[in-house]
Amino acid sequence: MALRKFLSQFSLIGETQERERVLDHFSRRYMECNPKSFNSVDACHTLTCAIMLLNTDLHGQGIRKRMTCSEFIENLAELNDGENFYKEVLKCIYHAIKTDQIEWAVDDDEDDTSQVEETLPPPSQPAVSLHNPYLDIPDPSQTTEYKNGYIMRKCCKEPDSRKTPLGKRGWKVFYSSLRDMVLYLYKDQHSKSQLVDGTQNAIRIHHCLASKATDYTKKQHVFRLETADWAEYLIQTSDSKELQSWIDTINYVAASLSAPALPNAVGSQKKFQRQLLPATYSKLNLREQLESHSNKAHEIEKDLHEHRQFPPEKGSKARIIQDYIEKESYLEHELKRYNTYIYLLKAHMAAFPELEPSLVETVIGEVDESGDLDRRASPSHRGGVQRSLSERYSYRAAIYNTEQVEYDVI
């Protein structure tokens, strides 16, 4: 009741730190009026912030799994200066917020801004609705198409490993075009010129892993595509040759163009945090990229070994066991991904040892000072003939049929 009265007079706007300072003043004043309600001001402030998060979780839009009362109590365990809050009090708070949402006063400036926005005329063209809000529409003339063709796609998991709803899991036919680190999906080949149509179902492949879906037996020639945001797709190709070609192409593009991972997030919580995987292009050349992947694989292998040495004790909380399993699964996946990248880059460097400049200049094919494309990027650029990657020698063909490859003297 006290928090509701307080927020009816004050508007929570601005960034998280600004809102937290407002709630800190409330917590201090509440402890002055009720000195024996909690063990300290920090404990009161912690509970106040938890109440605001609970209010957002129970009444926010787009949240599929709501927090339960037991989860709310468990999250606040031992946060009353080492002791637990009274469960009956937490239960009353939970059910009160679930029944009646907490609302706060609206700022006058914010209200005026919303009124101005309502009076603005609608734009001439609707904005492009993308599955990933950070997926920009690149200029087709500045990108390289590595592979294209008809495929069938099935969504298995949404980002953050959420299961795709039943109504969206069906197989759909698309004409796909892999341009740099984006896989565009069009309705058919004729709509390829309409870039907006392809971005609605586009998939970013930076730091992704494509592998044969050996556990899926309902269809043939299917591979699994796991992206950096932990979404998962099943993609069916026409035959076994196309299957291997798509897997090799996607993994090689991801291995050569993906920028190095950012350091792990650091916070007060003990929960395992995955690394941040940027969607930008790598500025390293092939050898430096290979060295970066090798160092990362060695680091992950060491972390996985240390992680398995300290499993959770018997009788541990379900949250601790879940974090342990999640971290082990993540490290195993990342080790497999980096080992795949290392194998591909080593095979490609063995087939084309002259590739040395920055990948952004060679593989993508930017224009150099003389106005010509860098001809060292791929054999398909030589002789003035443009070929798709499916018509070039793959890294396997370069290894096993090296006598058939002819190079022009530059």
Q: How confident is the model at residue 5 (pLDDT cuts 50, 70, 90)?
A: confident
| Mean pLDDT, residues 249-256 | 95
pLDDT score for 162: 87
Q: How confident is the model at residue 137 (pLDDT cuts 50, 70, 90)?
A: low
| 230 Cβ contact partners less than 8 Å away, ≥ 6 residues apart | 157, 159, 160, 161
Q: Residue 251: exposed, middle, or buried by beta-carbon count in 10 A (0-12, 13-18, 19+)?
A: buried
Instruction: Give the range with max mean pLDDT: 24-33, 287-296, 314-323, 361-370.
Output: 287-296
Residue 86 is encoded by which pair of tokens?
Answer: 């009274």
- Answer yes or no: is pLDDT of 379 > 90: no
pLDDT score for 239: 92
Q: How confident is the model at residue 72 (pLDDT cuts 50, 70, 90)?
A: confident
- Answer yes or no: is pLDDT of 21 > 80: no
Q: How confident is the model at residue 201 (pLDDT cuts 50, 70, 90)?
A: confident
Q: How confident is the model at residue 384 (pLDDT cuts 50, 70, 90)?
A: very low
pLDDT score for 407: 37
| Mean pLDDT, residues 255-263 | 89
**pLDDT per position as a tens digit, 159-199:** 888 888 888 888 999 999 898 888 988 888 776 666 555 56
pLDDT score for 270: 66
- DSSP 8-state secondary structure symbol assigned to residue 260: P
Domains annotated for the chain, with CATH where assigned, are: 2-99 (1.10.1000.11), 142-257 (2.30.29.30)
| Mean pLDDT, residues 32-48 | 86
Number of helical (H) and strand (E) elements in the chain, helices listed first: 12, 8
- Answer yes or no: is pLDDT of 355 > 60: no
- Report which residue type is found at 177: S
Whether the CB-CB separation of 200 and 131 falls below 8 Å is answered with yes
Residue 344 is encoded by which pair of tokens?
Answer: 């591909």
Helices (H), 352-410: 359-362, 395-400
- Answer yes or no: is pLDDT of 375 > 70: no
| 4 Cβ contact partners less than 8 Å away, ≥ 6 residues apart | 102
Rounded CA-CA distance 185/202 in Å is: 6
Minimum mean pLDDT range among 69-83, 151-165, 302-316, 382-396 = 382-396
Q: How far is CA 277 from CA 132, 176, 304, in A?
A: 14, 24, 19
Q: What is the pTM of this model?
A: 0.56
pLDDT score for 348: 87
Minimum mean pLDDT range among 21-25, 163-167, 265-269, 286-290 = 265-269
Q: How far is CA 188 from CA 149, 197, 363, in A?
A: 10, 10, 27
- DSSP 8-state secondary structure symbol assigned to residue 281: B
Report the length, in residues, of the chain.
410
Q: Which residue has the higher pLDDT, 396 or 200?
A: 200
Residue 397: how many other CB atoms lie within 10 Å: 14
Q: Which residues pair with 149 in a beta bridge?
A: 176
Q: Residue 399: helix, strand or coil by DSSP?
A: helix
Residue 13 is encoded by which pair of tokens?
Answer: 């706007």
Rounded CA-CA distance 272/330 in Å is: 10
| Mean pLDDT, residues 353-371 | 43
- For all residues of the chain together, what is the average pLDDT? 76
Q: How confident is the model at residue 219 (pLDDT cuts 50, 70, 90)?
A: very high
**pLDDT per position as a tens digit, 281-338:** 899 988 999 999 999 999 999 999 999 999 988 888 888 888 899 999 999 999 999 9
* Helix-strand-coil split of the chain, %, nearest 5: 45, 15, 40
Residue 370 is encoded by which pair of tokens?
Answer: 């003389």
Q: Which residue has the higher pLDDT, 333 or 97?
A: 333
pLDDT score for 254: 95
Q: Residue 278: helix, strand or coil by DSSP?
A: coil
pLDDT score for 195: 56
Angle, helices 240-257/286-309, rounded to nearest 10 degrees: 90
> Measuring CA to CA, which residue among 179, 183, 180, 245 is closest to residue 212?
245
pLDDT score for 16: 65
Angle, helices 318-351/286-309, rounded to nearest 10 degrees: 150
Residue 174: how many other CB atoms lie within 10 Å: 19
